[in-house]
Structure 1
Amino acid sequence: MHGANYRVGKGQPFCRKEFIKGNPQIKIAKFQGGKRANYDYCVQLLINEKVQIRHMAIESCRLAANKLLEQTTGETGYFSRLRIYPHVLLRENKMVATAGADRISEGMRRAWGKATSLGARVARGQCIMEFYVNAPHLEKAKKALSSACVKIPGTATIKVIPWDQKMSP
């Protein structure tokens, strides 16, 4: 239910958390991981369509990619970074579905809904996640991002950028 309802971001995003009581906590544990150093390549995960991604999908994407790359390269063989932040509040108007609910429920009249989740609106071609790796681990990073792209809505592309030694992530 959640993925189908919130995949396309319609209208103006609602970001004012000070007006919402009991706003949801973000599920993303870390936005950066690994070791900062000079690497040979930057491998990016780009989204191909305009979509809204929930924070639980972002976290599962990050976990899948980091786990696969950490098993093959170790903790110090790469540096990962999430490039999006979920700040849009997603609300849901829960309806009562029991006997006699038609007398209790208001229907769509004055429907505001409770804040249930957070989401990030992503434009077409925007980078979601990136890995910085050396040449021996390039194929492993591509494989890790391809396994992570099934966790997010829409289709994704993996882009490899040769990274200059003078630059650092």
Structure 2
Amino acid sequence: MHGGCYRIGNGQPYTRKEFIKGKPQPKIAKFQGGKRGEYDYIVQLCSNEKMQIRHMAIESARLSANKTLEQTTGETGYFSVLRIYPHVLLRENKMIATAGADRLQEGMRRAFGKAVSLAARVNQGQVIMEMHVRKEHVEAAKKALAGACVKLPITPTIKVIQAKAS
């Protein structure tokens, strides 16, 4: 299974997990990291295009960003939130790929396939992940999210928003 086959989400997403035996579990360990609190800025990772992102890529990006920022600010110097959830089931109809397989199997039209992975559908401009940081750590958060961009199948943009003063 290649990630390139599942980047573009055409058709209606399939999310009915109750009908599938042996459904895959999301690989995302935590959706929030760091310490909640009052922060000056929110640094967001936003999508530039409509795409499907697999749960393994989301988890990899989250780990990369959190680890980079934690080294700079410490465990209590930031708060990160994942804003997407992998609901969409990705299915694959596996074919026999050995010598002489063309005589054994020609495939089935519109075959259902076996559930192999999960993905999140992301629209253009949608926030994928955000980091809440203090003023002195804004550049470190931008660098951490830039490192997380490498793990994703899209080229997202990084926005810096001043948090509301209360």
CA distance in 2, matches of 1:148, 1:78: 16
Cα distance between partner residues in 1 of 2:98 and 2:146: 43
* Aligned match of 2:156: 156
What amino acid sits opposite 1:29 in the alignment? A
Note the C-alpha offset of 1:100: 3.4
User: RMSD over aligned Cα, in angstroms?
Assistant: 1.1
Report the more deviating stretch, 104-113 or 52-61.
104-113
Q: How far 1:110 moved relative to its partner?
A: 4.9
Q: Runs of 4 or more off by more than 4 Å in structure 1?
A: none
How is 1:62-141 mapped onto 2 (pairs within 5 angstroms)?
Answer: 62-141=62-141
| CA apart distance, 1:109 | 3.0
State the number of aligned residues.
166
Partner AA of 1:94 in structure 2: K
**Partner amino acid, structure 2, of 1:161:** I
TM-score by length of 2: 0.96
Q: Match for residue 142 of structure 2?
A: 142
| Alpha-carbon separation, structure 1, partners of 2:39 and 2:157 | 21
Whether 1:10 aligns to 2:10 is yes
Q: Could you tell me how far apart the structure 2 residues matched to 1:35 and 1:95 are?
A: 47
Separation in 1, partners of 2:67, 2:84: 19
Question: Could you say if the C-alpha distance between residues 90 and 70 of structure 1 is closer, same or farther in structure 2, counting changes exceeding 3 Å?
Answer: same
TM-score (ref. length: structure 1): 0.95
Unaligned stretches of 5+ residues in structure 1: none
Give the corresponding residue for 1:52: 52
Q: Distance in 2 between matches of 1:109 and 1:129?
A: 38
